[in-house]
Amino acid sequence: MTPSTSDTICALATPPGVAGLAIIRVSGPRSFAICDAFFKGSVSAENAHDHTIHFGWWGEGEERVDSVTLMIYRTPRSYTGEDVVEIGCHGGLFVSDRIISDILVGGARLADPGEFTRRAFLNRKLDLVQVEAVADMIHAESHRGAQVAARQLAGGFTHRLTSFRTALLEIVGLLELELDFSEEDVEFVPRDSLRARLLAVDHEIRQTASSAQAASVLRSGFHIAVVGFPNAGKSSLFNALLLRDRAIVSDIPGTTRDYIRESLLMDGYTVHLADTAGLRETADTIELEGIAITRSLIEQADLVIVLNDISLGLHHSDPLVQDVQRRYPDTPIRLVHNKIDVVDTANAPFHPVLACSAKTGAGIDSLRQAILSVVRSSTTNVTDVLVNARQATLLLAISDCLASVIEGLDRHASNDELAVDLRTSVRLLGEITGETWNPDVLDTVFSRFCIGK
């Protein structure tokens, strides 16, 4: 869907409901005229200066619906790039509804979700990675996530992509220049220097793509699955970490049948904790394969805690650890011993393994710290960019193109052939920033937005 930018749109920009203030946003060529039909202040919206605020009354004729402020933004110096009015009125259920219906009667229409930002994109106020940063900021599940999104909105990612683009265009330029002089068989840049430059760009591109997983932690939280044999104390640990009795605990093995997921905030990070059904050992294999839900939880987890009932021995859960390690080699695993209150811990060789008692609370604080340090270290390389799946896919496609250019250089391919792949990489970079875009991509990006943004 490509919205017409010739009509005027309007929506409540603040959450509906009881609140001190509400803000209604109007954008489009008729914004000022429509507001002037209802606004009575010392100056009309049409005549107000750019970037000024005006107090007055809203209502039809002599009627007074509410005292309001009008914030005036004239094209192109506004969020959408169009003429924009932001109306500040009192919160609550009725006033903003009434003002919006007046504006609709005046000839505007209700904005679609994300339509203000879509217009900002179409008017080149924001590029696509900045648009994605806006969505990330609104939905951020961590303080750090919101901070990084803000840096991306400020242009951090755009700047990095521009530097990749400049580097690649420079190389294309040199190759094409050589083509112009092909009769004379000159080489403007030695091939090994070109190769080195391409490798350097490719390295940075891969590194950027590889931060997508960490970015997803900042965007949507860190997932931990607590697994273990029945009765290990998983539900007890789950409750101890949550600081409340959420999961049922009993001495009957197999108490937890499904899984339970709860979220907690740790040092500004959202951590999603899942308590799972105990994994039984059948014959000599672990029933992991059979317990599909636990399996998919492990698959999605950023950290798996294998909880061992130490009263059954220090190595009781080792087969489970090995099994998880073998099936999910990329997922970090921590073995944690539970029920240390029932064993003699005086000379137990715990270090560097973690040990606690979900029952007495001993060791829970250290476990919390250990978890937090995994969460922190999983996101350390994310500074100014929250790479998402769309961007990571495109970055990896660019890297494939560059690999093919390097391979071409090695077999002395023609400049023409090399330039084709390089141009493709530049085009793919443009898809990341939205310089070249198709409506489907835009629809997907904007599907995360709410009305009024």
Alpha-carbon distance of 53 to 40, in angstroms, equals 13
Bridge-based pairing of strands 222-228 and 260-266 is unpaired
Which residue of this chain has its Cβ atom nearest to ligand GTP in the complex?
A: 278
| Residue 25 touches which member of ligand GTP, Mg ion, none, C-beta under 5-8 Å by kind | none
Among 31, 78, 231, 425, indicate the residue that binds ligand GTP (CB under 6 A): 231
Least gap, CB of 226 to ligand GTP (angstroms): 8
Region label for 401, one of left (φ > 0), alpha (ψ between -120 and 50) or beta (otherwise): alpha
Within a 13 Å sphere around the CA of 425, how many CA atoms are in the beta-carbon half? 30
Task: Provide the residue type at 370 as one letter.
Answer: A
Continuous H helices in 248-384: 292-300, 318-327, 364-378
> Taking CB under 6 A as the rule, does residue 251 contact ligand GTP?
yes
Least gap, CB of 337 to Mg ion (angstroms): 17
DSSP annotation of 41: E
| Residue 117 touches which member of ligand GTP, Mg ion, none, C-beta under 5-8 Å by kind | none
Alpha-carbon distance of 446 to 114, in angstroms, equals 6
| Residue 250 touches which member of ligand GTP, Mg ion, none, C-beta under 5-8 Å by kind | ligand GTP
Distance of CA 432 to the CA centre of its chain: 15
Nearer to Mg ion, 158 or 231 (CB): 231
Residues 335-354 that bind ligand GTP (CB under 6 A): 338-339, 341-342
**Which range, of 92-100, 249-257, 347-355, 410-418, touches ligand GTP by CB under 6 A?**
249-257
Sign of CA dihedral 112, 117, 121, 125: positive
The Cα-based distances of 360 to 177, 232, 245, 349, 356 in angstroms read: 74, 15, 14, 20, 9
Nearer to ligand GTP, 256 or 391 (CB): 256
Least gap, CB of 279 to ligand GTP (angstroms): 8
| Residue 361 touches which member of ligand GTP, Mg ion, none, C-beta under 5-8 Å by kind | none
Least gap, CB of 299 to ligand GTP (angstroms): 20
Continuous H helices in 227-336: 234-242, 292-300, 318-327
Least gap, CB of 289 to ligand GTP (angstroms): 18
> Taking CB under 6 A as the rule, does residue 249 contact ligand GTP?
yes
> Taking CB under 5 A as the rule, does residue 311 contact Mg ion?
no
Residues 251-280 that bind Mg ion (CB under 5 A): 255-256
Q: What residues have CB less than 8 Å from 330, skipping those under 6 apart? A: none
Bridge-based pairing of strands 260-266 and 269-275 is antiparallel
Least gap, CB of 360 to ligand GTP (angstroms): 7
Angle between helices 156-180 and 415-433 (to 10 degrees): 160
Nearer to ligand GTP, 338 or 378 (CB): 338
Alpha-carbon distance of 426 to 168, in angstroms, equals 7
Nearer to ligand GTP, 76 or 253 (CB): 253
Among 236, 270, 294, 308, indicate the residue that binds ligand GTP (CB under 6 A): 236
**Which range, of 95-103, 202-210, 356-364, 442-450, touches ligand GTP by CB under 6 A?**
356-364
Binding mask 264-293 for ligand GTP (x = CB under 6 A): --------------x---------------
Burial string for 89-119 (b: 16+ CB within 10 Å, else e) reads bebbeebbeebbebbeebebeebebbbbbbb
Bridge-based pairing of strands 84-90 and 21-27 is antiparallel
Nearer to ligand GTP, 119 or 234 (CB): 234
**Which range, of 233-241, 263-271, 363-371, 427-435, touches ligand GTP by CB under 6 A?**
233-241
Among 195, 359, 376, 423, indicate the residue that binds ligand GTP (CB under 6 A): 359
Continuous H helices in 248-379: 292-300, 318-327, 364-378
Nearer to ligand GTP, 160 or 359 (CB): 359
Within a 13 Å sphere around the CA of 350, how many CA atoms are in the beta-carbon half? 17
**Which range, of 100-108, 181-189, 213-221, 244-252, touches ligand GTP by CB under 6 A?**
244-252
Which residue of this chain has its Cβ atom nearest to Mg ion in the complex?
A: 256
Binding mask 191-230 for ligand GTP (x = CB under 6 A): -------------------------------------x-x
| Residue 17 touches which member of ligand GTP, Mg ion, none, C-beta under 5-8 Å by kind | none
Residues 231-250 that bind Mg ion (CB under 5 A): 234-235
Cβ count near 128 (within 10 Å): 23
| 3-class secondary-structure state, position 93 | coil
Residues that bind ligand GTP (CB under 6 A): 228, 230-236, 249-251, 253-256, 278, 338-339, 341-342, 357-359
Query: Which residues of the chain form contacts with Mg ion (CB under 5 A)?
Result: 234-235, 255-256
